[in-house]
Amino acid sequence: MKFGLLEILTLIGAVGLFLYGMKLMSEGLQKAAGDKLRNILALMTNNRFIGAFTGIFITALIQSSSATTVMIVSFVNAGLLSLGQSMAVIMGANVGTTATAWIISLLGFKVNMTAFAIPLIGFGVPLLFSKKNSSKSWGEFLIGFALLFLGLDYINKSVPDLQANPEIFRALQSYVDLGYGSILLFALIGMVITVIVQSSSATFAIVLIMSSKGWISFELAAAAVLGSNIGTCITPLLASISGNIQAKRAAMGHLMFNVLGSIWTLLLYGPFIKLIIAISSSLAGNPNDLMNFVHSADPTLLNHLNEGSLDAGTVENQTLISNFANMQYFVSFGLSMFHTVFNLINISIMIWFTNLYVKIVTKLIPSKPSEEDKETHLKFISTGMLSTAELSILQAHKEIVLYSQRTQRMFGLVRELYHETDEATFVKKFSRIQKYENISDRMEVEIATYLTKVADGRLSDESKHQIQMNLRVVSEIESVADSCYNLARTIQRRNQGKVSFTDDVNANIELMFNLVESAVVQMTHILEATTLQISDINKTQNLENEINNFRNQLKTQNIVDVNDAKYPYASSVLYMDMIVECEKMGDYVVNVVEALADSKLYKVNTK
């Protein structure tokens, strides 16, 4: 058998072309429908049925259950979906992925898609040079669609001809005649192939070609497709490694759904296959007809039919070619029906146990009780896990809101530190503020890194503007945290120098703290809102004016008080350092609000 390194590389390249076409098609649709997907997810409620239909729709749209489940895991990680919602959506995604199987099955055998592939690429390439992002995305989709079927055609031509090599075929036959053991073996093979290529659709295509050439029976091909349902769980599991506890639970729920579904199918495999054959026979034809023909046909004739080299000059041969193509279609139809019915029965049964799934995965992956661990990591995003560029902006914004809330708590600690008289407690609180400062620096870098990765994708002008705004906001919030730490260090110097402030100075600092805290709270409130009210902008600007005026008033009064010897000059230096640092914080807060006001993400309500 001549199947050396070149032939192996050709086969790998064919699978790679298929996978790249699917990736390009999926990403093109995700980019084109980014905002629409965002709106769909916004409409989702705790209703498990709406969640399931959403999973079906999104997966059918983007043609990849792996992409959908990774997206869902990232949404759970970002707090956009609850764990219960994600379970229903993931169940729906398993049904939605059958759309890819039907496209491959119906178009791959009923229509010669390779004849249209090159013209489709010719139509898609000019769209890539369009100034409109949506046109570029649709160009990617068309090119990906064409490459997918070119890859499928190359896989068909590149797989080794087992019929022409009896020794290889006999080796394969030794594994297909093990009865129920063969079913389990091919389910395992389907799972392993899917884990390697990380695409159940690619596994479906490979199994479809093997069965359509008559190398394996319909029963074994269906078992491999069943195994691919478990193998496809590897992608979201890998994506969840860098995610939070909820993301890991969502990925585990996906694995449980597919494993439990596969177990009951394997237990009832004989009756289930008979049901699929009965359905397929009534709608298209019997999937076993091809294997019956293979057992009775001359091997040479079979080779010509598989290679498409049989002379079509006679009516008899034309009829034979047509019948063979129909029998291949019956197999592809049967496999698609198997995949669809399996997932429909699965979701029909298991959607009623969504809450039970949540309880089980919560027990399997318990949360860590350490509050300290929660404070030192990003909660909503992970630099190792990205969904579509458009949708990732939402995740980044939720993390920025949390960043602002932590900075607000940090300022609260500074106020407590100012009044702390117990030395041991003072040291503990100062250490906490230092820890918050380190967290703040790390969060700024991680959020900015994440936004930079998002920016690497092709974005709309609005989304580019949003990323620039978010980067600016992150920088300003970090400056607020720096000012908090500077205030804490000044308070520490006050205590170390055993400097005492007068009652008037303490009262003035307290008033300045009140103004600054109001500004920081207002900043967080604005970040949490989806609509920016003109009254919120005015309130922030008024607070900033008050802070500036109060600072100027205190600086002038400070000179008078020092000259009147109301307190030492050393005290006045620390006093003014704190007042000036507070005024800087006010400036940073205003910069955040101005950045939001300039962004198209926020609609300014002028009422």
Show Cβ contacts of residue 263 under 8 Å, excluding neighbours closer than 6 positions: none
- Nearest 5°: CA angle at 388, between 467 and 594? 15
Over the chain, what is the mean pLDDT? 79
Alpha helix positions (H), 313-369 = 315-350, 354-364
Whether residues 308 and 439 share a domain: the answer is no
pLDDT confidence of residue 159: 60
Whether residues 274 and 388 share a domain: the answer is no
Of the spans 180-184, 271-275, 301-305, 345-349, which averages the highest pLDDT? 271-275
Q: What residue type is assigned to position 268 of the chain?
A: L
Whether residues 424 and 404 share a domain: the answer is yes
- Of residues 367 and 591, the one with the higher pLDDT is 591
Per the domain annotation, does 369 fall within a domain? no
Per the domain annotation, does 241 fall within a domain? yes
Q: Are 135 and 19 in contact (CB under 8 A)?
A: no
- Of residues 378 and 134, the one with the higher pLDDT is 134
Q: Which pair of structure tokens corresponds to residue 397?
A: 């914004």
Whether residues 341 and 382 share a domain: the answer is no
Q: Give tens-digit pLDDT for 6-50.
A: 777 887 887 788 778 767 776 676 666 655 655 555 555 456 777
Q: Residue 508: pLDDT above 90?
A: yes
Alpha helix positions (H), 422-460 = 423-456
Whether residues 384 and 533 share a domain: the answer is yes
384 falls in which pLDDT band (50, 70, 90)?
Answer: very low
Backbone φ, ψ for residue 604 (5° rounding): -80, 120
Per the domain annotation, does 90 fall within a domain? yes
Instruction: Give the rounded percent of residues in the chain with a pLDDT score beyond 90.
Output: 22
pLDDT confidence of residue 489: 94
**Helix H or strand E segment including 604:** strand 603-605
Find the domain containing 290 and state its range: 5-364
Q: Are 585 and 513 in contact (CB under 8 A)?
A: no
Q: What residue type is assigned to position 228 of the chain?
A: S
**Helix H or strand E segment including 605:** strand 603-605
pLDDT confidence of residue 235: 67
Q: Measured between alpha carbons, how far is 95 from 58 in angstroms, rounded to an integer?
A: 11
Listed residues 313, 332, 364: the one ending a domain? 364
Lowest mean pLDDT segment, chosen from 276-280, 524-528, 530-534: 530-534
Whether residues 378 and 360 share a domain: the answer is no
Instruction: Give the rounded percent of residues in the chain with a pLDDT score beyond 70.
Output: 76
Mean pLDDT of 436-454: 86
Q: Residue 442: pLDDT above 80?
A: yes
Q: Are 131 and 106 in contact (CB under 8 A)?
A: no
Whether residues 347 and 382 share a domain: the answer is no
DSSP string, 495-555: HHTT----HHHHHHHHHHHHHHHHHHHHHHHHHH-SEEEHHHHHHHHHHHHHHHHHHHHHH
Total H helices, total E strands in the chain: 26, 2
Listed residues 312, 341, 364: the one ending a domain? 364
Q: How many CA atoms lie within 13 A of 498 on its CB side?
A: 0
Mean pLDDT of 355-364: 85
Q: Residue 73: pLDDT above 90?
A: no
Whether residues 341 and 429 share a domain: the answer is no
pLDDT confidence of residue 286: 87
Bridge partners of residue 399, in order along the sequence: none
Bridge partners of residue 385, in order along the sequence: 382
Whether residues 380 and 324 share a domain: the answer is no
Per the domain annotation, does 120 fall within a domain? yes
Whether residues 67 and 44 share a domain: the answer is yes
Mean pLDDT of 160-185: 62
pLDDT confidence of residue 522: 92
Q: Tell me which DSSP letter residue 603 carries.
A: E
Q: Give tens-digit pLDDT for 44-69.
A: 545 677 777 777 777 776 656 666 66
Mean pLDDT of 517-538: 87
Q: Are 523 and 540 in contact (CB under 8 A)?
A: yes
Lowest mean pLDDT segment, chosen from 116-125, 157-166, 505-514: 157-166
- Of residues 475 and 62, the one with the higher pLDDT is 475
Listed residues 331, 364, 397: the one ending a domain? 364
Q: Are 212 and 47 in contact (CB under 8 A)?
A: no
Per the domain annotation, does 501 fall within a domain? yes
Q: Residue 70: pLDDT above 90?
A: no
Per the domain annotation, does 135 fall within a domain? yes
Q: Please give the tally of structural domains in the chain.
A: 2
Per the domain annotation, does 182 fall within a domain? yes
Q: Return the number of other C-beta atoms located less than 10 Å from residue 83's C-beta.
A: 18
Mean pLDDT of 99-112: 66
Q: Which pair of structure tokens corresponds to residue 481?
A: 């945290």
Output the domain CATH number for residue 456.
1.20.58.220
Helix 245-267 vs helix 354-364: crossing angle, to nearest 10: 120
Per the domain annotation, does 207 fall within a domain? yes
Q: Give tens-digit pLDDT for 554-601.
A: 999 999 999 999 999 989 999 999 999 999 999 999 999 888 887 644
Q: Give tens-digit pLDDT for 270-280.
A: 899 999 999 98
Whether residues 426 and 497 share a domain: the answer is yes
Residue 93 burial by Cβ neighbours in a 10 Å radius (0-12, 13-18, 19+): buried
Whether residues 423 and 290 share a domain: the answer is no
pLDDT confidence of residue 410: 93
Q: Are 526 and 532 in contact (CB under 8 A)?
A: yes
Q: Measured between alpha carbons, how far is 465 from 455 in angstroms, rounded to an integer?
A: 10
pLDDT confidence of residue 339: 85
Q: Which pair of structure tokens corresponds to residue 246?
A: 């909820």
Q: Measured between alpha carbons, how far is 238 from 91 in angstroms, rounded to an integer?
A: 19
